[in-house]
Amino acid sequence: MEEVKDRSEILTEKKNPKSEKIDTLSTEEIIRLINEEDATVHQAVKKAIPEITRAADIVYNAFSNEGRLRYIGAGTSGRLGVLDASECPPTFSVDPDLVQGIIAGGYQALRKAVEAAEDDPENGKKDCIKYGLQSSDVLMGIATGGTTPYVHGAIDYANSIDCKTIFMTCTHKEKLDIEADVIIEVLVGPELVTGSTRMKAGTATKMVLNMITTTAMIKLGKVFGNYMVDHMAINEKLLDRGSRIIADLANVSREEGYEYLHKANKHVKEGIVMAKLDVSYDKAHQLIQDHNGFIRFAFEEEQT
């Protein structure tokens, strides 16, 4: 019989004493207990802010130098990487290739578990090569339990080609045999359902990924104030949002904002600059390019 490694000392595999009798509780009691545990995730993520900050700067620097971000993981971790990557293009109008998620077992694993796919480190390396990982990119491995061979293999390969690496885990990093430029340790503690890292660990992962990509995009000029200005209005909701953003920032009516949005070929950034500076679409587009994608220049005169 093949020997299976004992993972009982991994934090995410330990038993949570708060839920020892969870199967005897009422529906509301179960829900309240889950909610109480979820409330602890915020503090666990907060403690990792210095490492998350370093990770966000690494990603931003890569984006600023034609590099890309690749998430890689298995199971829930892989799915969350794919999810964050898929949300970047519609939110920030970036090329779909800028941020991509790689999951053990391929995209079929998004809908149906392919659990054995995570057991071979060579598969992680092969997928990095398949997706064209380069030294200018950033590879972020996600393994909340810390030991996933697939992710370790990917990180090892990325290190070998001098690609920047980030590793996120929800267990104690000193117990892991992993080398990365940044290791993000978010200690959410044992899950209420023992080992079910789709719960607190999954919530923590979603929070951390959102923090990294959102911060990098803000630093790239995708946001002005707290408005999501670098998006294209491709549906009714975004037409309304874009019209209101232009109206608020350029101090015009919503109807005028809507007109400027259409004059700007539904590009919100250009619409803002057109309305604010009373220039053509081509002039607005050129000005934005001249200022590396930032539109604060359009507001500088009134601020001085």
Pair 63, 220: CB distance under 8 Å: yes
To the query of whether residue 51 is one of the catalytic residues in this protein, the response is no
Which residue out of 13, 51, 118, 191 is catalytically annotated?
118
To the query of whether residue 301 is one of the catalytic residues in this protein, the response is no
User: What DSSP line would sit under the chain, residue for residue?
Assistant: -------TTSGGGS--GGGTTGGGS-HHHHHHHHHHHHTTHHHHHHHTHHHHHHHHHHHHHHHHTT--EEEEESHHHHHHHHHHHHHHHHHH---TTTEEEEETT-GGGGTS--GGGGG-HHHHHHHHHHTT--TTSEEEEE-TTS--HHHHHHHHHHHHTT-EEEEEESS-GGGS----SEEEE----S-SSTT-TTTHHHHHHHHHHHHHHHHHHHHTT-EETTEE-S-B--SHHHHHHHHHHHHHHHT--HHHHHHHHHHTTTBHHHHHHHHHHT--HHHHHHHHHHTTT--GGGGHHHH-
Which sequence positions are flagged as catalytic?
Answer: 87, 118
